Amino acid sequence: MNVILVGPPGAGKGTQAQRLQETYGLKHLSTGDMLRAEVAAGSAVGRQAKAIMDRGELVPDEILIKMIGERITQPDAAKGFLLDGFPRTVGQAEALDQMLAGRKVTLDHVIQLVVNNDAMVERISGRFSCKTCGAGYHDTFKKTKKPGVCDACGGTEFVRRPDDKPETVRTRLEAYDRQTAPLLPYYQAKGVLRAVDGMAAIDDVTKKLGLLLKAA
Ligand code: ADP
Ligand code: AMP
């Protein structure tokens, strides 16, 4: 099964993908995570992407298309992938369609997490993750069970993303509305678009996604 999660920054794509990948054996591929790894490694792509990401704008399509094209052909994505943060433009979606058609791979679901953009600034401002294992948390909506200790790995160091500042979040939300929202009619026309209420509590969103994927 191959699935795309779509929604503005803060919609819950990463949170839900972490859970779904365990239940359904899908490989979670986040282009944001891949780009942050390139930045951390100081690679040519990372150097090109860093300033753009810091401003909250989208990195050029050709970089992303090459990156995801190399990634989805790796053996660990052969049983199915769960894309988070890609595609983000119609150009990226068209390139993905071509890649999948060339490999006779079908896209089963494009799931839109439907949220109110105004609530996303609060969600993103409270987001943090474990420095050791990457597990995601929120100051209000998903605290660690024991203060200061990661539920997943027991790590005690946490990080916040530099682009999660409120002013950058607003630019990222505008980029979503202008450049990514046109994907919704694109996938609707292909008959693969499903919608799930992303404003519900985290566990309820997971349950709804589970029902949708089990029915597949
Ligand atoms: P995305 O990957 O779509 O940018 P995240 O999954 O990182 O979004 O979620 C953003 C923040 O909001 C995280 O801190 C997460 O814990 C929290 N969050 C995710 N889903 C919900 C939800 N349904 N209700 C409340 N908070 C949520
Ligand atoms: P995310 O982790 O999905 O919130 O992505 C963080 C940042 O990485 C975005 O604000 C963009 O600058 C960049 N990025 C991630 N995925 C893409 C994509 N598919 N196309 C363009 N830019 C991307």
Beta carbon of 198 within 6 Å of any ligand 2 atom: no
Residue 141 reports pLDDT greater than 90: yes
**Is 161 in the active site?**
yes
Residue 216 reports pLDDT greater than 90: no
Q: Which residue has the tokens 């990195």?
A: 59
H helix or E strand, kind and range, residue 185: helix 183-190
d(CA 78, CA 71): 10
**Is 214 in the active site?**
no
Mean pLDDT (the chain, rounded):
95
pLDDT at 182: 98
Alpha carbon of 13 to ligand 1 centroid (Å): 7
pLDDT at 161: 94
Beta carbon of 12 within 6 Å of any ligand 2 atom: no
Ligand 2 atom nearest residue 56's Cα: 10
Backbone angles phi, psi at 127, to 5 degrees: -80, 135
Note the pTM of the prediction, 2 decimals: 0.96
Select which of 36, 88, 123, 208 is catalytic: 88
d(CA 110, CA 187): 7
Q: Of all residues in the chain, what percent carry a pLDDT higher than 70?
A: 100
22 three-state secondary structure: helix
Select which of 36, 50, 123, 172 is catalytic: 172
Backbone angles phi, psi at 104, to 5 degrees: 55, 40
Beta carbon of 205 within 6 Å of any ligand 1 atom: yes
Find residue 82's DSSP bridge partners. Answer: 3, 28
Residue 2 reports pLDDT greater than 90: yes
Angle at 7 between CA 57 and CA 100, to 5 degrees: 90
pLDDT at 113: 98
Q: How many CB atoms lie within 10 A of CB 116?
A: 9
pLDDT at 214: 85
pLDDT at 22: 85
Residue 91 reports pLDDT greater than 70: yes
What are the tens digits of pLDDT across the range 48-87?
Answer: 999 999 999 999 999 999 999 999 999 999 889 999 999 9
**Is 170 in the active site?**
no
Ligand found nearest the CA of 5: 1
8 A C-beta contact, residue 107 and residue 100: yes
pLDDT at 18: 92
Residue 215 reports pLDDT greater than 90: no
pLDDT at 107: 95
Beta carbon of 136 within 6 Å of any ligand 1 atom: yes
**Is 88 in the active site?**
yes
